[in-house]
């Protein structure tokens, strides 16, 4: 069951377990997505058009950019800026999972709605994502500014 699920024997996950699950989820996701994020940022910072017909453009496509980054900078280049992004992802995951758990528990305990309904999960999931975004956004702004300055 996703979200709060009252067990008859009282064996529910603790808030700490839920936060750790979210943190681990964020950690694994960021580690796997980081190379794509680096390529995306390179495309965003490139002033030239993303086109094979523009000879001044350094990167022309995802595969070409991947090969070029690998040849020029090595495999570790795909994880540049990984630590600050990893911290954000861990925090985001913890807040999102914990918020979702708490919101579904609140619905279960304080309303006539069944906390297992799709609509409840949809609304609670959206609110949990908003809470997580609001929580980590200030740190993300700082990370982006540092990345843009090259520091």
Residue 16, pLDDT score: 94
Per-residue pLDDT of the chain (151 residues; tens, 9 = 90+): 566 666 666 677 889 999 999 999 999 999 999 899 888 888 888 877 766 666 778 888 889 999 999 999 899 888 888 888 899 999 999 999 999 999 998 988 887 777 678 888 999 999 999 999 999 998 888 776 765 554 3
Chain centre distance of CA 123: 19
Residue 134, in any domain of the structure? yes
- Count how many domains the chain has: 1
Q: Which CATH number does the domain housing residue 45 bear?
A: 1.50.40.10
Q: Which structural domain range is residue 86 located in?
A: 15-149
Domain assignment of residue 115, yes or no: yes
Domain assignment present for 131 = yes
Is residue 114 included in any domain, yes or no?
Answer: yes
What global pTM score does this model have?
0.77
Q: 122, exposed or middle or buried, with CB in 10 Å at 0-12, 13-18, 19+?
A: exposed
On whether residue 8 sits in a domain, the answer given is no
Residue 6 lies in a domain: no
For residue 3, tell me if it sits in a domain: no
Residue 79 lies in a domain: yes
């Amino acid at each position: 069951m996703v979200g709060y699920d009252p067990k008859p024997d009282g064996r529910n996950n603790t808030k700490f377990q839920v936060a750790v699950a979210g943190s681990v989820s964020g950690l694994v996701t960021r580690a796997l997505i980081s190379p794509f994020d680096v390529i995306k940022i390179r495309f965003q910072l490139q002033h030239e058009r993303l086109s094979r017909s523009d000879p001044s453009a350094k990167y022309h496509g995802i595969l070409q950019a991947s090969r070029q980054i690998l040849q020029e900078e090595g495999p570790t280049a795909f994880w540049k800026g990984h630590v600050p992004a990893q911290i954000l992802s861990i925090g985001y995951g913890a807040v999102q999972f914990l918020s979702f758990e708490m919101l579904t528990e609140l619905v279960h305990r304080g309303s006539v709605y069944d906390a297992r309904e799709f609509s409840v999960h949809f609304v609670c999931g959206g609110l949990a994502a908003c809470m997580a975004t609001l929580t980590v956004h200030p740190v993300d702004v700082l990370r982006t500014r540092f990345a843009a300055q090259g520091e």
